[in-house]
């Protein structure tokens, strides 16, 4: 084993010790294919009102714009997959008569949890290499994290545009380090979606308008998280009981049926966030909101946005009961 291979495996081993379920390595380069797809996606307005996606275009497709002299991208996956029955046996998250929050937002804010782990991994790598320059990222900078995870051999892009991994399904967060050090790079994996179209068939808003293509401006997660103002009338009934995010295309994915459970308990559902009925959510006030979501990704929707979503879900659920 060469010295480069030893150092690569040392970083991978420490990543797993820190609680990352997978770690992969790819050469830092301009993402030419992704650049063309992103430009086309933006030109067609698939990003809706998310104007921030138009900014820093060069940085999104070229890691050397974020870290001068970048040679490698180290991608990691951290699962939030959990067994609700074992963690909170007295509570339910999937009762269709209650408002629902996407699984990823039921634990502590993943940005902070993953960044803490990534900084530890960065400092280990810095010592291992005898010094280096680089940055860590967790869904908070213009980085195409799924593209880098694919190039790092951590999975393939599914027809719902999520990253899929044979062992982990899609119930995980992605983080990366962009570094000016070289490593032994991993090979990309083949696509294992086959002829399956379950995610496409299940999407209530037809946001997955063709395999591997998602119109972000029609996604329930977009309506309940990113959109400011009123949800368009034609989509309100399709939102169903979702008040933050949406898991439908992941819930139906066969790769998620036997997905390995995660180990980072801070990402698991907090007891005070699940099992609440419609009455609880309808009565939500600002003080309770601040208390519930102090360390939560749900803050992204803001209080006004969450109340708007609750009103939509309430109308839908009450229609179901009538």
pLDDT tens per residue, range 292-316: 999 999 999 999 999 999 999 999 9
Selected residue with higher pLDDT from 7 and 94: 7
Please state the rounded mean pLDDT for residues 15-19.
98
206-236: per-residue pLDDT in tens? Answer: 999 999 999 999 999 999 999 999 999 999 9
List alpha helices for the chain, DSSP H: 3-17, 32-43, 57-61, 84-87, 110-129, 145-151, 198-202, 220-221, 233-236, 248-251, 278-282, 286-292, 302-321
Q: What percentage of the chain carries pLDDT values higher than 70?
A: 96
Which token pair is 45? 């307005």
Q: How many CB atoms lie within 10 A of CB 277?
A: 12
Burial 12-21 (b: 16+ CB within 10 A, else e): bebbeebbbb
Q: Please report which confidence band the pLDDT of residue 92 belongs to, taking 50, 70 and 90 as the band edges.
A: low
Lowest mean pLDDT among 49-63, 114-128, 294-308: 49-63
Paired sense of beta strands 213-214 and 208-210, if any? antiparallel
Q: How many CB atoms lie within 10 A of CB 124?
A: 17
Q: What share of the chain is helix, strand, coil (3-state, %, to 5)?
A: 45, 15, 45
pLDDT for residue 320: 82
Q: Please report which confidence band the pLDDT of residue 76 belongs to, taking 50, 70 and 90 as the band edges.
A: very high
Q: Whole-prediction pTM value?
A: 0.94
- What angle, 0 to 180 degrees and rounded to 10, lies between the N-to-C axes of helices 110-129 and 3-17? 150
Q: How many CB atoms lie within 10 A of CB 322?
A: 5
230 and 41 Cβ atoms separated by less than 8 Å: no
Lowest mean pLDDT among 21-35, 73-87, 243-257: 73-87
Catalytic residues: 139
Which token pair is 246? 């949406």
Q: How many CB atoms lie within 10 A of CB 91?
A: 16
pLDDT for residue 319: 86
Please state the rounded mean pLDDT for residues 130-144.
93
């Amino acid at each position: 084993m060469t010295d480069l291979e030893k150092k690569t495996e040392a970083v991978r081993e420490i990543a797993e010790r820190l609680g990352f379920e997978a770690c992969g390595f790819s050469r830092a380069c301009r993402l030419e294919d992704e650049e063309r797809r992103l430009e086309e996606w933006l030109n067609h307005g698939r990003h809706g009102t998310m104007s921030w996606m138009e900014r820093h275009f060069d940085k999104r497709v070229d890691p050397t714009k974020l870290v001068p002299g970048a040679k490698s991208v180290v991608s990691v996956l951290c699962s939030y997959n959990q067994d609700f029955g074992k963690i909170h046996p007295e509570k339910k998250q999937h009762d269709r008569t209650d408002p629902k929050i996407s699984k990823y937002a039921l634990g502590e804010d993943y940005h902070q949890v993953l960044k803490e782990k990534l900084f530890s991994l960065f400092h280990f790598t810095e010592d291992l290499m005898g010094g280096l320059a680089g940055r860590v990222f967790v869904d908070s900078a213009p980085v195409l994290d799924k593209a880098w995870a694919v190039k790092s051999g951590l999975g393939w892009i599914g027809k719902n545009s999520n990253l899929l991994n044979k062992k982990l399904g899609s119930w995980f967060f992605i983080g990366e380090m962009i570094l000016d050090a070289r490593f032994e790079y991993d090979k990309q994996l083949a696509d294992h979606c086959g002829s399956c179209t379950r995610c496409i068939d299940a999407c209530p808003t037809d946001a997955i308008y063709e395999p591997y293509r998602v119109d972000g401006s029609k996604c329930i997660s977009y309506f309940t998280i990113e959109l400011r103002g009123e949800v368009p009338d034609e989509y309100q009934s399709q939102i169903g009981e979702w008040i933050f995010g949406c898991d439908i295309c992941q819930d139906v994915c066969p790769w998620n049926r036997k997905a390995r459970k995660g180990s980072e308990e801070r990402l698991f559902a907090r007891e005070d966030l699940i099992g609440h009925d419609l009455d609880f959510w309808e009565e939500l006030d600002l003080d309770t909101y601040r208390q519930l979501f102090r360390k939560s990704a749900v803050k992204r929707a803001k209080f006004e946005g969450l109340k708007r979503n609750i009103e939509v879900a309430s109308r839908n659920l009450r229609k179901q009961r009538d």
